[in-house]
Every structure is written in C-alpha cells, then in structure tokens.
Structure 1
Amino acid sequence: MTETNPDEMTFEQAMAELEQVVAQLERGDVALDESISLYERGAKLRKRCDAKLKEAEEKVAAITLDAEGTPKGTKPVEGL
C-alpha cells in the first residue's frame, strides 16, 4: 500500500489519518519498528495540519469588514 504524501492531503484527510495513527500508538500493540514508522508518519501529518490551519487563519485575518460588519474585500497576505 502506498501512502499519500501529506503535502498533497487536505486538512480533513491529514487529520483523519493522524487520529488513526494516534489510536494505533495508544493501543501499544504494534512492534517497535512499526511504532517508530507510525510516529514519523504522525509527525508529518501533524505538520500538514498545522500548515493548513495557519493558512486558514491568515486568510480569515486578511478579510476586511465594513462598518456593518460585512466583508468588503480581502487584503493580500504575504507568502500566500
């Protein structure tokens, strides 16, 4: 089975797989070598989730509101 590159996953996909990895590690019924591989995979998935959350936060922060509180446009966010 080939694993999807976390950089190509949506936030939801990465989070779902991360939850599976954590559940496997918490059960404690996997061999040490497999545990290490799972931990490494989990670290990559967590990094992807963090990046996608930061990206979403920056987009939300860039939305400007008018006096009535409705969006009137967005400001470009550096680095996106």
Structure 2
Amino acid sequence: MSENKKSVEESFNEIESIIAEMQKEDVTLDRSFELYNQGLTLIKECNEKLDSMEKQIKIIEEGNING
C-alpha cells in the first residue's frame, strides 16, 4: 500500500525510470513484461489521483461561484 502514498510526481519519475530500463538493449522479455505491468499500475494510480484532484477542484470552484 505504500505505492498509494507516493505523490503524482514521484510516480511520474518512477514511470520514466521504467521506460528508460525497458529501452535498454539487454533487458529480457520477462523483465520487460514485469516493468510494463509496474508501469500500468503506476499510470492507473496516477489517473485515479488526478481524477480525485479534478473533482476536488470542481467542488471548490462551485463553492466559490455559489458562495
């Protein structure tokens, strides 16, 4: 669960590291698959966090318009 405590920026940095490792010539197919799955998990978590932030911003904006 510590993955969920990462900031979006930390997750983006980790995704960039995963991409860099996948681009290496000596990476095995098994390792590439493992990295791919890790990347997808991080992307999903980032999307969930960003969706949550967007909803919070909309709530704040609606409060400012109605308030």
TM-score class, shorter-chain normalisation, is: 0.7 to 0.9
Runs of 4+ aligned structure 1 residues displaced above 4 Å come to none
The residue that corresponds to 2:56 in the other structure is 59
Once residues 38 and 50 of structure 1 are traced to their aligned partners in structure 2, the CA distance between those partners, rounded to angstroms, is 18
The residue that corresponds to 2:36 in the other structure is 39
| Total equivalences in the alignment | 65
Unaligned residue ranges in structure 1 (runs of 5+): 73-80
Unaligned residue ranges in structure 2 (runs of 5+): none
Once residues 7 and 66 of structure 1 are traced to their aligned partners in structure 2, the CA distance between those partners, rounded to angstroms, is 32
Do 1:6 and 1:44's aligned partners in 2 also have CA atoms closer than 8 Å?
no
Q: What is the alpha-carbon root mean square deviation over aligned residues?
A: 2.1
- 1:3-59 Cα shifts (integer Å, max 9, x gaps): x84223221111110111112223443111110110010011101110110011011
Report sequence identity in percent: 29
Of structures 1 and 2, the one scoring higher in RCO (CA 8 A, sep 6+) is 2
Higher share of residues assigned helix: 2
